[in-house]
Chain A
Amino acid sequence: METINLYVKDYTLTPGPRYIRQDVFSGEDFYIKKLNPCFYRCVVEDKRLEIYLDGTAGYPSSFLDEAFGELVYDFSRSEVEKRVVFVTQIFKRHKDRIINETYPQWEKRRNDSEVIFNTPSLKGTRIHHIDNNGNLVERQI
């Protein structure tokens, strides 16, 4: 399977908080601007997404939880686990925490059809997701 590389350091060297309303370079912003389009491309082109975590100053846990949690919420855990590969030497514990904590928590929220919170200013923004019937569609925040 071919790969698409996504370097977090190209987005920012200083990842921020959870939501856009809290500060710049948030997990929510990273998801909407980078992760969601990249992953959508991977699904359409049947590719793997390699995410490089190293090179930043550090990660607030909420940044990673929001970004990768929303990814699972929109595309399902199985699809994310099938395609996403984390590459890191420094943030191995963050990587483990995403896989072992974020993935199951957000998969449960997806299965329970729980409504997730987004920054109000994003209302109307369109993002890609896989619906309950397994179809790749767009949804509006």
Chain B
Amino acid sequence: MMDISNLLALLDIFVVIFFGFFFTHWYSVRDARTRAIKDYYISALNDIRKKLDDFFQNILEGKSSSKKIAYWYPTIQTSIINFDNGLRLALPIKKMLLDEIIDTILSDITKNEYINENYSKQSLTLDINTRDFIISKKKIIDEFLNEYLIQVNNISAYCIVHTVRQSIELDTEYYEYVKHCKRPRIMACWKSFTNNKGNIILWLVAIGCLISFCILFTRTNNGSFANGKPKVEEVVTKSLTKGDNIKDVKQLIDNDTLSNEIEWLKPSTY
């Protein structure tokens, strides 16, 4: 019969294998995938930042007009909304939508009295107050973009459950609308299983090892952690099971002879 030290050694081996694989393979693969996505969206974010910088710079230098300010955003709004949606599909970003903040800022700018008063002018030269107002709005957007960039760079990917569920959703659409399969969901689940079978097998092995260990441990030591010395409850139960008189058991405990007498109750003796 396998004793506790053998079991622990066995468990140790499995734990080392499992975590070794987990850290070296799983995380490295996942980080490499996430890094590629992050680089793509950081580059897209830089493009948006450049457009916004140009927009504000033109206003501040007097190269813009009220009309240009009013009609500028709709031309890039769709690409910003798509950027936001794509980013949130790939990474669990917890920040206000970029489109929302830009739209709010531009709404404040187009409500500005000076900009309205000079609406008919071909070029808009700002007065001091409006200039400060525009700079303050640019500062808000810059700060937001900085925080956004940091969050995109630092954020971890979605958990494995979310990623698998997401890929099943996307594959279901593929099998339904491109391949016209009768059971797209089942096909998507099967594809997800075959893609992740290494991970699934590893998890099953790990869970199997844990269950086996628990069963072996329970059988070897009869459910006790006292290394052969049963607890008082076990002594009483087993003594009664053997047919001892209840008074004898009570006396056994009262006389504080349990520690000596317990020897005959060890699992190996009956």
Instruction: Please tell me if B55 contacts chain A, counting CB pairs below 8 Å.
Output: no
Contact of A58 among B73, B99, B104, B119 (CB under 8 A): B73
B71 x A19 contact (CB < 8 A): no
B111 x A62 contact (CB < 8 A): yes
Contact code string A42-65 (vs B, CB < 8 Å = 1, else 0): 000000000000000111111001
Q: Interface size bucket, A side?
A: 20 to 34
B110 x A62 contact (CB < 8 A): yes
Q: Which residues of A contact B77 (CB under 8 A)?
A: 90
Could you tell me the dominant secondary structure of chain A's interface residues? loop
In the complex, A27→B70 CA distance in Å? 13
A23-B120, A61-B111, A62-B111 given; name 15 further pairs at CB < 8 Å: A15-B70, A17-B119, A22-B119, A22-B120, A23-B119, A58-B71, A58-B74, A59-B70, A60-B70, A60-B111, A60-B116, A61-B107, A90-B77, A93-B100, A97-B107
- Residues of A participating in the B interface, judged by any CB pair closer than 8 Å: 14-19, 22-23, 57-62, 65, 90-91, 93-94, 97
B74 x A90 contact (CB < 8 A): yes
Q: Which residues of B contact A59 (CB under 8 A)?
A: 70, 110
Instruction: Please tell me if B138 contacts chain A, counting CB pairs below 8 Å.
Output: no
Q: Which residues of A contact B111 (CB under 8 A)?
A: 60-62, 65
Shortest beta-carbon contacts, A-B, top 9: A17-B119, A60-B110, A23-B119, A58-B71, A60-B70, A61-B107, A57-B71, A23-B120, A17-B116
B119 x A16 contact (CB < 8 A): yes
Q: List 21 A-B contacts (CB under 8 A).
A: A15-B70, A16-B119, A17-B66, A17-B117, A23-B119, A57-B71, A58-B71, A59-B70, A59-B110, A60-B66, A60-B70, A60-B111, A61-B107, A61-B110, A61-B111, A62-B111, A62-B116, A65-B111, A90-B77, A93-B99, A93-B103
In the complex, A60→B77 CA distance in Å? 15
Residue of A nearest to B121 (CB): A23
In the complex, A16→B67 CA distance in Å? 8
Contact code string B94-112 (vs A, CB < 8 Å = 1, else 0): 0000011001101110110
B70 x A19 contact (CB < 8 A): no
Q: Which residues of A contact B106 (CB under 8 A)?
A: 61
Q: Which residues of B contact A18 (CB under 8 A)?
A: 116
Known: A14-B67, A17-B66, A93-B103. A57 touches B74 (CB 8 A): yes
Residue of B nearest to A16 (CB): B119
In the complex, A62→B112 CA distance in Å? 8
Q: Which residues of B contact A17 (CB under 8 A)?
A: 66, 116-117, 119
Name the distance in Å between A96's Cβ and chain B's nearest Cβ: 10
In the complex, A75→B69 CA distance in Å? 32
In the complex, A93→B104 CA distance in Å? 9
In the complex, A91→B117 CA distance in Å? 24
